Amino acid sequence: MSALLVVIVVIVLLGGGIWGWPLLAGILGISSVTDKAGALKYIAQLMNTYNITPSDIETAFNTQDSASSETDKRSKGDIARTLFAYLGAIFILAGISTYIGMFWDSMGSLMRVLITLGVGYILLIVLICALHENKFPKLILPLTLASVFMMTGGWFVLIHELYPRGDSWREAVLFVCAVMALHQGALFGKYRQTALLFTGLFFIYSFLEVGLEMLGVPIAYIAIVLGASVFLVGTALEKTPHSVLSEPALLIGVCWLNSGLFDRISFFTSPNWASLITGLCIILTSYGMHKAGRYPRLIALGYFLGSIMAYGGLFDLVQNSYIELIYLAVTAAGLYICVLLQSRALLLTTVVAMLSFIVYFSEEHFANSLGWPVTLVLIGVAFLAVGAIALKVKQRF
What is the rounded distance in angstroms from the CA atom of residue 171 to the CA atom of residue 166? 10
pLDDT digits (tens, 9 = 90+) for 325-377: 888 888 888 888 887 888 888 888 888 888 888 777 777 766 666 666 666 67
- pLDDT score at 3: 41
- pLDDT score at 5: 36
What is the rounded distance in angstroms from the CA atom of residue 333 to the CA atom of residue 206? 42
- pLDDT score at 107: 76
Residue 106 exposure: Cα atoms within 13 Å on the Cβ side:
5
What is the rounded distance in angstroms from the CA atom of residue 245 to the CA atom of residue 106? 42
Closest CA to 293 of 344, 231, 342, 241: 342
Which H helix or E strand runs over 385?
A: helix 371-396
Sequence-separated contacts (24+) of 329-336 with Cβ below 8 Å:
331/357, 334/307
351 burial via Cβ count (<10 Å: 0-12, 13-18, 19+): middle
Closest CA to 158 of 206, 122, 110: 110
What is the rounded distance in angstroms from the CA atom of residue 160 to the CA atom of residue 155? 9
What is the rounded distance in angstroms from the CA atom of residue 143 to the CA atom of residue 184? 13
Q: What is the DSSP string of 130-176?
A: HHHH-S-GGGHHHHHHHHHHHHHHHHHHHHHHH-TT---HHHHHHHH
- pLDDT score at 22: 43
- pLDDT score at 300: 87
What is the rounded distance in angstroms from the CA atom of residue 390 to the CA atom of residue 339? 14
Residue ranges for the chain with pLDDT beneath 50: 1-32, 67-69, 71-73, 390-391, 393-394, 397
pLDDT digits (tens, 9 = 90+) for 193-202: 888 999 999 9
pTM for this model (two decimals): 0.70
Q: What is the mean pLDDT of the chain?
A: 76
Length of the chain: 397
